[in-house]
Structure 1
Amino acid sequence: MSGPTGAQFEITYGQARAVVTEIGASLRAYAVDGVDYVESYPDDTHPPMGSGAVLVPWPNRVRGGRWPFEGGVEQLELTEHERGNAIHGFVRKLPWQVISHTGSLISLGVDVPAQQGWPVPLRVTISYALDAHGLTVTHGVTNVGDRPVPFGVGMHPYPRAGRSATDDCTLQLAATTSLPLSAETMTPDGPQTPLAGSVLDLSKPTLLRGVNLDDAFGGCEPDADGLIRHRLLGPDGGVEVWADPAFRWVQVYTPNDFLGRGRAVAIEPMTCPPDALNSGVDLITIAPGEAWSARWGLLPR
């Protein structure tokens, strides 16, 4: 292990290349013909702004770190101190073990033990595969405990439309609703509202110049082929973030100070909204011995 993200694992397919880290099993780089399709960062730095992070067993935030379970209340460690939340699960800072590594595919796994605020152990896996259809990411969760437990899964990529500047890009989401979030806690502050006709309606290509987002969107609808598709398109390239129907939610974040890039955009596929461990919205409940999996991916355009 070397550096804050540990060993670096490369996979290739033709002119495509991706790099996955040992710590967090994060996606650190993805390029085709030398053109980047995710924001990258040096291997001797920590991932900036959660870049490429795997978010299990919950994405986004748990308000106050508290959530109900089997008639009681679990208290998670508050890992977002300034807002008083537990954020982004347990696995993004853990070392993962390589399960298999071929030229174009790598699979890794990590154990989530029962611990403060999380009473049921899980086995978590992820696979990254390159082929003619781009990059496919497959998440797996297995309940290795003796009780059912709810969970959610997310990922935190910062896609980029090739060489296009972020402000010159349009973003189109498959979402049909938005979820208002409290400015203080970034957790839900009201019910879902329809996107159609609202200021946050990104169902049609919307120029990102002047648009500042850190918002949760839901009701993501699959295309005719059964896949959810979000599109980031620019004058010098584009990328599609596709996902299985399990990923009905997406968080979009547009920081102005991403390391080495400045203006960037995170398009984060999620199976459930922020604070789902409390609201119960789109949580997945997994029985003892049961396994779950779902995919998302990146397709350069």
Structure 2
Amino acid sequence: MRHPSGEQYVIASGRSRATISEVGATLRTFTVEGLDVIDGFTIDERSTDGRGQVLAPWPNRLTDGRYTYGGHECQAPLNEPARHDAIHGLVRWLDWSVVSRRSDQVSLSCVIRPQPAYEWQLDLEVTYTVADSELTTTFVALNVDREQAPFGVGFHPYLTVGTPLVDHVDLTVPAIAFLDPEVPAETPRMVPVSGTAKDFTRPRSIASTELDTAFGELARGDDGRAVARLEAPGDGRWIELWVDEGYPYLMVYTADQVASADRRRAGVAIEPMSCLPDAFRSGLDLIELAPGASWRASWGLRVSAR
């Protein structure tokens, strides 16, 4: 039988178990001590609302699907027609090939070929590794084209600590600024979170707050990592998402507009992003890969399922 998300690659170590799908190299499930900490999808479904997907060669939205780079006029399909934009890149519905596999780790790769939406060739590889109560994701992009190539990447895990709704969860986002939604995406401006409903620099209940917000200016530890956290107050369950310095932004989405009504506000998407939305148009934090150059970054999850 063929599953909608293709072959399934299960990796496990200690109390942790993850399932990665062939389609999109998608993180379909992640459990610790039997607790689902990813609001993913079943083996009989396809990913909806970006669940667990790899977002490349751009994350988030690209207004009108149109941009110019290196003398190329590019037009991506408008796969979010209601907003007249192209969302989350080109690789999330591709079949990815296994590069290597062992009991606690799998690496998958795909190739982006020149096309009207993107006129360059990239080799992409993502590696998922589980350890006791942890998952680490490492992503590598290699420019195999003859020209410099624009690039951005993101990931889209929906996190949960087992509560029916995110309203009852404490959230921490280590960011002192967020993207101002009132200015054009081509000319982005970050504004302080202080004094706003988007200030989660200290843990507080999400309650009725609705977020679909790009956060930046992340506070980092001595190891260069920034850490966001969800916690179920009073019962000891928490999940942390960390990003290294390759990801200067976190998109936080409280799932208020997902397609299935019974999944709304069931999890919080905390999305590592190498750049802001519309980076192909604004150029802000856009990765520019010279021919033969590569880019690497990691993010991960840590869990207490007590």
After superposition, the CA RMSD in angstroms is 1.9
In structure 2, the partner of 1:62 is 62
Q: For residue 292 of structure 2, what is the amino acid of its counterpart?
A: G
Residue 92 of structure 2 aligns to a residue in which SS? helix
The one-character-per-residue Cα deviations of 1:153-182 (angstroms, maximum 9, x if unpaired) are 100000112457422111111112111236
Equivalent-residue separation in structure 1 for 2:125 and 2:219 (angstroms): 26
Is the Cα–Cα contact under 8 Å of residues 164 and 234 in structure 1 kept in the other structure? no
Is the Cα–Cα contact under 8 Å of residues 246 and 296 in structure 2 kept in the other structure? no
Between 1:188-197 and 1:210-219, the stretch displaced more is 188-197
Is the Cα–Cα contact under 8 Å of residues 175 and 216 in structure 2 kept in the other structure? yes
Distance change in 2, residues 1:61/1:136 (3 Å): same
Q: For residue 212 of structure 1, what is the amino acid of its counterpart?
A: E
Equivalent-residue separation in structure 2 for 1:72 and 1:3 (angstroms): 37
Trace 1:146-161 onto structure 2 (pairs within 5 A).
146-161=146-161
In structure 2, the partner of 1:300 is 303
The one-character-per-residue Cα deviations of 1:169-223 (angstroms, maximum 9, x if unpaired) are 111111121112369xx94675111112222111111211101111111112211
Is the Cα–Cα contact under 8 Å of residues 172 and 204 in structure 1 kept in the other structure? yes
Q: Could you state the TM-score of these two structures normalised by the residue count of structure 2?
A: 0.92
Between the two proteins, the alignment pairs up a number of residues equal to 299
What is the deviation of 1:300?
0.4
Equivalent-residue separation in structure 2 for 1:144 and 1:210 (angstroms): 47
Q: Could you state the TM-score of these two structures normalised by the residue count of structure 1?
A: 0.94
In structure 2, the partner of 1:42 is 42
What is the deviation of 1:48?
2.3
What is the deviation of 1:268?
0.6
Distance change in 2, residues 1:164/1:229 (3 Å): farther
Is 1:225 paired with 2:223? yes
Equivalent-residue separation in structure 1 for 2:55 and 2:195 (angstroms): 31
Equivalent-residue separation in structure 2 for 1:84 and 1:76 (angstroms): 11
Q: For residue 219 of structure 1, what is the amino acid of its counterpart?
A: E
What is the deviation of 1:75?
1.7
In structure 1, the partner of 2:248 is 248
Is the Cα–Cα contact under 8 Å of residues 221 and 248 in structure 1 kept in the other structure? no
In structure 2, the partner of 1:289 is 292
Is the Cα–Cα contact under 8 Å of residues 179 and 216 in structure 1 kept in the other structure? yes
Is 1:105 paired with 2:105? yes
In structure 2, the partner of 1:204 is 202
Is the Cα–Cα contact under 8 Å of residues 182 and 188 in structure 1 kept in the other structure? no
Residue 41 of structure 1 aligns to a residue in which SS? coil
Q: For residue 228 of structure 1, what is the amino acid of its counterpart?
A: A
**% of aligned pairs identical?**
37
Q: For residue 11 of structure 1, what is the amino acid of its counterpart?
A: I
Is the Cα–Cα contact under 8 Å of residues 162 and 239 in structure 1 kept in the other structure? no
Q: For residue 7 of structure 1, what is the amino acid of its counterpart?
A: E
Equivalent-residue separation in structure 1 for 2:131 and 2:15 (angstroms): 10
Equivalent-residue separation in structure 1 for 2:94 and 2:302 (angstroms): 28
- Choose from 272, 277, 283 the match for 1:274: 277
What is the deviation of 1:50?
0.9
The one-character-per-residue Cα deviations of 1:3-25 (angstroms, maximum 9, x if unpaired) are 21011110000121000000011
Q: For residue 192 of structure 2, what is the amino acid of its counterpart?
A: P
Is 1:118 paired with 2:95? no
Distance change in 2, residues 1:194/1:180 (3 Å): same
Moved segments of 4+, more than 3 Å: 162-165, 186-190, 256-262
Equivalent-residue separation in structure 1 for 2:163 and 2:254 (angstroms): 17
Is the Cα–Cα contact under 8 Å of residues 188 and 282 in structure 2 kept in the other structure? no
- Identify unmatched segments of 5+ residues in structure 1: none
